[in-house]
Structures are given as C-alpha cells and as structure tokens.
Amino acid sequence: MRKMKGVVITGKNTLAISDQCPIPEEPCPTGAFIRPLIWSPCTSDAHLCATGCASLPYLIGKAVGHEMCGEITKVGAEVHDFKVGDRVIVCSVMPMWRSLEAQDGMAKQRQDNLYGGVDFPDRGGSFVEESYIRDADMNLAPIPQGITLEQAVMVPDMMCTAFEGVRQLGIEFGASVAVLGIGPVGLMAVRAAVLHGAGNVFAIGSRKPCFTVAKEYGATHTVDYHAPDYLEDIVEANGGLVDGVILCGGSGKELGKGLSILKKGGTLVNLSAYFSGAPIEIDPSVWGFGYGDKTIKGVGCRGGRLWMSRMAQLIVTGRVQPEKLITHRYHGMDKIPEAMGLFLNHDRNLIKPVIYNDSI
C-alpha cells in the first residue's frame, strides 16, 4: 500500500488533512486509479462528522467523501471501455455486479458497505489525491461532451439518489407530489418529479435560495414549514391529499407528517438517513391504521454506469441543470474542511459547495 493525502474525520465536528490514506500499488485487473478533478461534500458526510462517526466508528481516520469526478491515471488489464486520461463520473455507491444481489435487481444493496460511497470501507472515501475503484467498466461513466465538471459532480449522489427516489415513487402523469425537505437532494427530487410528469409539486423548506431553485426546477408551490398550518395548507391548495411524498431530511417525526398528507393508496419515498439511533415513530392513524394501502419505501442511491450515463443524458439534453444547486466554489483539497464547515454551521445560503482540485 502506498500512502497519500486525504481528508479524514478525526472526531466530533473535526476534520484534518492526513497523508496516511492507503491505496494499493496497482489496481486489480478490472480496476482503475482516478485523479480527482472536482469534489463535492454531502450532507451525509457532514452528519458523519457531526457525530464523530458514532454509528459507523470504523470510518474514523479514514478518507471521507463520495461525490467526485476525475481523470483516469491507470487501468487494469481487464478494463475495456476506459483508458488513461479519460474524464469520468465516479459512482458514489459501489454496486457489485457479480453478486447474487445484482441478480436480484439490487446490486446497490451490497452487504459489505453500510455507509455507501466507499468501494473500500476499510480505506474510506474519495476525498483523496488518487482514488481506486474496483470495477471501472461498470461503475464509471464517461463525462459526455458539453457537460461541465460542476454539472458532472452532481450526478453521483444528487441526481442518482433523487431520480431513483422518484422512479420508485412511480408518479402518474398529472399527479401531485410533496417534497418534504429541499436541500440539494430534495431540490433534485423536485426536478425529477417534474420530469416524471407530476402536476402539482410542493417544495417544502425554509430557506430562500432553495425556494428560488425549486421554482426554477418546476415546483408549483413553495411552502415554508414554519407556517403554523403548512400541512393543511398543502392539502387545501392541492384539492385533497397528495399522490406521493418524497422525504429528504428531518428526524423520524417528518415521516409521520409526510404520511398525514398522503392519500390512501399512495407512496412515501424516504431519502433521509437515520443515524441518530432514535426510533422512527408512526402514529397508526396517519397510516390508515395499518390497512390504508400507504406504502413506505426507504430508498438508497442507485449506482452503476448505465444509471449515471442516463443521468448525464438528462443534462446533455438540457432537461436538468444541476449547476443551479452550486452556491459555493473552492480550489484545492485543503479547502474541503471549510466547505464541510458550511454544513456544520448550518449556513443559510448553502445549497451545495464544490471544490476544484488545484492541480488541474
């Protein structure tokens, strides 16, 4: 193992630049090394940091991060579709395609990767000088011509998660959707809902920059959850309970709020992670006493080259403008802790930061 520079969580709310992040000497035959060109920290990185990796303690001291695009620096002998110098989107989750889970349609739900975003739980994430991926042909996607790095780095998690959530929601044309929580994934879910043919789309949040993007992405209603009766207001504006709910943030209590405005027979897709250990509580009355045909799905990010390429295609064709999410830009790995600090300090102007690698 060689050692390299990377950003690691050292404790509650603390990060550091380490030079002890390991990487093998050579990639495996199907693997590749990638030099990052652009990174983006995720809310879940911040959650891990804020809790000092309480729920996933083995990540302490290992590289953090899972949203990155870069340039290939080396490929194994069995890599057929990529070569050194190719610019690529790197999968944030690392599906195992040669697995029984994959044969069951759930390549993403591999058993050896609880956090996601990490091909090597023992080594950590992608905020490193050089990143190693085990299955290049399957889990990298070329950055198509005409797409910027800022657009491309919104693919691995923001688009791949939000669009998978809406896919599993399965909205009918013209149906109504409420997106509870409009951070970057929630905003992308607004866009995905519009691109799945929704009619009314309620974007529920509290910060002005998010409302602005929600409108640009096609939300028909923006709703401030500080308003005393905002849930009743949604139902009234919609002319009835909504057909689908996407939950992107909050504690376990929001799940019940989502169910309370969901029609019988509808689906709620959860895109939040619950790392605090507190139980999720559901009042039976908002769940139709258990027999109201309300479905609750806890959906994880979908990965793989095909899905990432399809996301990229939505950018190429102009259907999605992911760069609208980016509110902060930095240069150099050393600025990653500052960018992470935006989340930790609850900056009200933040949607999504990116960090360019200085060396490009």
Q: Which is nearer to its own copies, 6 or 184 (CB)?
A: 184
User: Residues 69-108 vs its own copies: string with x where CB under 8 A?
Assistant: ----------------------------xx-xxxxxxxxx
Q: Which stretch binds its own copies (CB under 8 A): 34-42, 188-196, 207-215, 227-235?
A: 188-196
User: Residues 236-275 vs its own copies: string with x where CB under 8 A?
Assistant: ----------------x----------xxx----xxxxxx
Asked whether position 43 contacts its own copies by CB under 8 A, the answer is: no
Asked whether position 295 contacts its own copies by CB under 8 A, the answer is: yes
Q: Which is nearer to its own copies, 285 or 349 (CB)?
A: 285
Asked whether position 288 contacts its own copies by CB under 8 A, the answer is: yes
Write the CB contacts of 68 (distance below 8 Å, at least 6 apart in sequence). 34, 36, 38, 39, 40, 90, 126, 127, 131, 153, 156
Tell me, rounded to whole angstroms, the distance of Cα 330 from its chain centroid.
Answer: 20
Q: Which is nearer to its own copies, 129 or 135 (CB)?
A: 135
Asked whether position 314 contacts its own copies by CB under 8 A, the answer is: yes
Write the CB contacts of 69 (distance below 8 Å, at least 6 apart in sequence). 36, 37, 38, 87, 88, 89, 90, 143, 149, 152, 153, 155, 156
Asked whether position 40 contacts its own copies by CB under 8 A, the answer is: no
Question: Interface residues for its own copies in 321-350 (CB under 8 A)?
Answer: none
Question: Interface residues for its own copies in 142-181 (CB under 8 A)?
Answer: 163, 167, 172-175
Looking at the DSSP assignment, which residues form a beta bridge with residue 268?
Answer: 245, 296
**Closest distance of CB 105 from its own copies, Å:** 7
Which of 49, 143, 154, 192 is in the footprint of its own copies by CB under 8 A? 192
Q: Which stretch binds its own copies (CB under 8 A): 182-190, 228-236, 277-285, 321-329?
A: 277-285
Per-residue DSSP letters for 10-33? Answer: EETTEEEEEEEEEE-SS--TT-EE
Q: Which is nearer to its own copies, 297 or 328 (CB)?
A: 297
By residue count, the chain amounts to: 360
**Closest distance of CB 176 from its own copies, Å:** 8
Write the CB contacts of 212 (distance below 8 Å, at least 6 apart in sequence). none
Q: Are 126 and 36 in contact (CB under 8 A)?
A: yes
Angle at 275 between CA 226 and CA 52, to 5 degrees: 105
**Count of residues touching its own copies (by CB under 8 A):** 84
The residue written with tokens 């939300």 in the block is 219
Q: Are 27 and 132 in contact (CB under 8 A)?
A: yes
